[in-house]
Amino acid sequence: MRNDISQKIKDYAQTNSAIESVFYVKRLNNDEFYSIYTVASEIIIAKLEEEFKNLFDDVIFVNRVKEKREIDKNKFSYTTIDLYKLDNIKISESIISSDVASDFIKTLPADIEFLYNKPGSEAILPNKEFTYSLVKEYEFSQTVKNFFAYAIEVSLYLNQNNTLAASIKMEDLRSELVKMLRIHVVNKYKGTMDIGKDGREFTHTLAKEYKDEFEESFHDVNPLNIYNSLFKACVLFRKIGMAEAENLGFEYDRQIDVNTLKLLRNNYKKLESFLN
C-alpha cells in the first residue's frame, strides 16, 4: 500500500476511539485498487463515511455498498465505503463490528498487514489455514443449468432481431462462465488462489489458452458475431465444466449441453441463411 495513503489511515485510526483495528489483505491491493478493513466498537456509518472521505483532498465521490458474508452458517451484513480519487485510485473501506471481527478475519486470506491496533484491544488473528471454499454439487449443477438457460435466451432474442437484449443476456451467461472458471482456478490451486474481484486475477491464474478463449466470448452487436461469441463461450464452458466435474466427482449434464447446442446451431443456420 502506498505510504502516503497508509499513513493517513493510521493517523486517522489513532484519533478515533471507536476504531480498534485496521488491516488489509496484501494480495487484494495494487496500484489502482486498495481495500482495507476497519474494526469498530461503535458504528455510525454516515459519520465514518464522512471522516474517511475527509482524509483525502482529491475525492471525486464516495459510494456506499451493502455486503454479506457467512461465518459458520451465520450470515451478517456490513457496509463498504468505496472512495474514488482523481489520481486513478479506488480505496474501499469495509466497516466490521468488533463483535464479529475475530470470526470475520478467518474468512480472508492469511497475507494480512495490520495498519493499526488499538492498545489494550483484543488481538484478532488471521486464519493461517485459510483456503477458498470448493463448490458444492448442487451449486455446480445450477451453474450448468443457468449457463445453458441463458444461452437459449440469447438465441431467442436473436430470433427477434433484438441484438441489445441478446447482448445484455450474454452478460448473464458470461457471469455463469466466470463461476465455472472460478471453480477451475480454486481447484487448480487447491484453494490457495481465487479469480479476485471483477476477475482481476484471471491474468495470473488462467492458462493462456483459456484466457484467450474467454476473451473471444466478448463481441459487438452484429448478430452473427454474438452467435460466434456464444459458441466460443459454450465450448469453453463445456471444456472446463466436464474436466472439473470429473475432478470433483460430480455429474456434468451432457444432455442439457447437447440439446442446447443443437438448438443454437439450428437457429444460427436460419439466421445466416436469412442474412445471406
Residue type, 267: N
What local confidence, expressed as pLDDT, does residue 71 receive? 74
What local confidence, expressed as pLDDT, does residue 199 receive? 86
The pLDDT of residue 31 is above 90: no
- CA dist., res. 50 & res. 72, Å (int): 33
All cell numbers assigned to 178: 466466470
Three-state secondary structure call for residue 7: helix
What local confidence, expressed as pLDDT, does residue 80 receive? 97
Confidence of residue 231 (pLDDT cuts 50, 70, 90): very high
What mean pLDDT comes out for the span 214-237? 89
In terms of Cα–Cα distance, which of 251, 46, 47 is closest to 138? 251
The residue count for the chain? 276
Rounded to two decimals, what is the model's pTM? 0.85
Q: How, if at all, do strands 59-71 and 74-85 pair?
A: antiparallel
Q: Give the pLDDT confidence of 101-144 residue by residue, as tens digits.
A: 999 999 999 999 999 999 988 889 999 999 998 899 999 999 99
Which domains are seen in the chain, by residue range? 3-117 (3.30.460.10), 137-275 (1.20.120.330)
Q: Give the pLDDT confidence of 150-165 residue by residue, as tens digits.
A: 999 999 999 999 999 9
Tell me the average pLDDT of the chain. Answer: 92
Question: Do 25 and 38 contact (CB within 8 A), yes or no?
Answer: no
All cell numbers assigned to 78: 456490513
In terms of Cα–Cα distance, which of 203, 154, 205 is closest to 175? 154
Question: Do 104 and 69 contact (CB within 8 A), yes or no?
Answer: yes
* Residues in CB range of 151: below 8 A, 6 or more apart: 173, 230, 233, 234, 260, 264
Q: Give the pLDDT confidence of 158-208 residue by residue, as tens digits.
A: 999 999 999 999 999 999 999 999 999 999 999 989 888 888 888 889 999
- Rounded to 5 degrees, φ, ψ at 194 are -135, 175
* Torsion angle defined by CA atoms of residues 31, 81, 104 and 47, in that order, rounded to the nearest 10 degrees: 130
Q: What is the CA radius of gyration of the chain?
A: 23
